[in-house]
Structure 1
Amino acid sequence: MTTQPNPPNLDYEFRDAELLARALTHSSYANEAGETNRLRDNEQFEFLGDAVLSLVTSEHLWRSFPSYSEGELSKLRAHLVSARHLAKVARSLRIGDRMRLGRGEERTGGRNKQAILADALEAIIAAIYLDGGVESARAFITSRILAPELDRIGSDPAALTARTDHKSTLQEVLQAGGHPQPAYSVVDQRGPEHSKMFTVQVTLDSGVQVQATGRSKKLAEQRAAELALQQLGRPIPQVKP
């Protein structure tokens, strides 16, 4: 008989505790348990949880941001379901403390590994879905994964869709050539308070001036920096995920 892990702070009461136990069982622990105990790990739950998370997140964003393009919605979803974000949520719920890990993973800090934590959170989503249905899973995903991050981002989640930090890159390129930092200024803003559009101009000491528009000053600055880099003939570097 195996010891059941204490349930993490999920705000959900499982009817079938075995589902949660499996969600918190890493393959390294199941492998070390051997054939006698025949423990099942959480890998199949990860597969199911990933699909449920993607569906719920897609619908939530589609309903919340009807004016966003398909590309903007896709990039925002990619951030919300990324291993980095899921691991951050898992840490806040102290899921790592409740996981069943093999001795090898335990020694190498598995309880704080991004991949293990993100996978465990997806497995928990699957466990909630199997135990309580899609609405229970939706409530958990919305309250724990989506709403806090969207609240943190504020009124302009599109700012997170930029996969590159063009402002930093432009500054580095100019500094490498002995040039001063670029100057950014808002040259226009239109629309109601809840849906303003900003036009920002970036000016280089060489006389190059580029303008770009975005739903926030931050996004407009990034786009202006991107255009300035293109004028300088500099390839756009990708930020590592």
Structure 2
Amino acid sequence: MPKALPQQRLQQLQQLLRRIDIETSGLASTGWAAVDEALTHTSAGLAINHEQLEFLGDAVLRLAASEYLEQHHPELSVGERSALRAQLVSDRWLAEVGEAIGISDALRIGPTAGGDATALSTLRAEATEALIGALYRAFGSLAPVHQWLTPSWERTSRAVLSDPHRGNCKSALQEWSQAKALGLPTYRTKERSKRHGDPQRFHCHVGLEGWISAEGWGGSRREAEQQAARAALEAIKPAQGS
């Protein structure tokens, strides 16, 4: 047990790792220190923070997701795997995983960041990615990452692969418009809020002259454009088969 960690803090971290079924009986003090670092946000103003492990976690996540796709979806082309992987490592997916395990319960953050409700999703995503990096550092392998994330990847993969647009509505709308010789959709996206993590920070209007006009909102420019494209596809459903 790491002597540097107060008992209450150690219990917080133990409870979190139990929620993701990680065996911690043999975890060294350096491993616990890594988990503690991952779950200490920069806003807390402490000597350690999550940034380096978040950077490591980004690379670990992409590699582990690539291995998952190779093992579980060998039938997909490289392009299809790349598109699906983008869904399996997205900030939205990370935030959902963090929320599912209650990562906020063990996250040390400053009072300003903690009081910004719109930023909570971003904080969860950052902490989840940092925790992935911490597990890799603590155990020296991808095994605990796969053990934790595979069930979530399975659920997300099923949802994406059952979606006729495969989670990329912009591409689907463009393919449809080109097949109809209508040209390319036009996107106009504006930032309506400066609040980091605001789910309606960006507003997008998409137009296809003579056919459709639709709009969407999102926490990022990309998300807003995807939501606008999805709304457009829903609106032209009757014409898609013609």
Class of the TM-score when normalised by the shorter of the 2 chains: 0.5 to 0.7
Q: Which amino acid aligns with 2:88?
A: L
Change (3 A) 1:161 1:151: closer
Q: How does 1:89-168 map to 2 (within 5 A)?
A: 89-109=97-117, 113-134=120-141, 135-143=143-151, 145-153=152-160, 156=162, 159-164=165-170
**Greater gyration radius:** 1
Aligned residues: 175
Q: CA deviation at 1:107?
A: 1.7
Out of 12, 21, 43, the residue aligned to residue 28 of structure 1 is: 43
Q: Identity percentage over the alignment?
A: 31
Name the residue aligned to 1:18.
33
Q: Which amino acid aligns with 1:10?
A: I
Q: CA deviation at 1:161?
A: 4.3
Q: CA deviation at 1:92?
A: 0.9
Name the residue aligned to 1:201.
none
8 Å Cα contact 2:114/2:120 also seen in 1: no
2:21 is paired with a residue whose SS is coil
1:40 is paired with a residue whose SS is coil
Q: CA deviation at 1:62?
A: 2.3
Please say which of residues 95-104 and 59-68 is displaced more in the overlay: 59-68
Q: Which amino acid aligns with 1:235?
A: P
Name the residue aligned to 2:182.
232
Provide TM-score, normalisation by structure 2: 0.62
Determine the C-alpha separation between the residues in 2 that align with 1:140 and 1:158. Answer: 28
Unmatched 5+ stretches in structure 2: 188-205, 207-215, 217-221, 224-242
* C-alpha distance after superposition, 1:153-194 (max 9, x if no partner): 4x5467424242756xxxxxxxxxxxxxxxxxxxxxxxxxxx
* C-alpha distance after superposition, 1:124-159 (max 9, x if no partner): 11111122232122222223x312322444x54674
8 Å Cα contact 1:46/1:119 also seen in 2: yes
8 Å Cα contact 1:72/1:158 also seen in 2: no
Unmatched 5+ stretches in structure 1: 34-38, 168-221
1:101 is paired with a residue whose SS is coil
* Cα-Cα RMSD: 2.7
Out of 44, 49, 56, the residue aligned to residue 57 of structure 2 is: 49
Determine the C-alpha separation between the residues in 1 that align with 2:138 and 2:156. Answer: 26
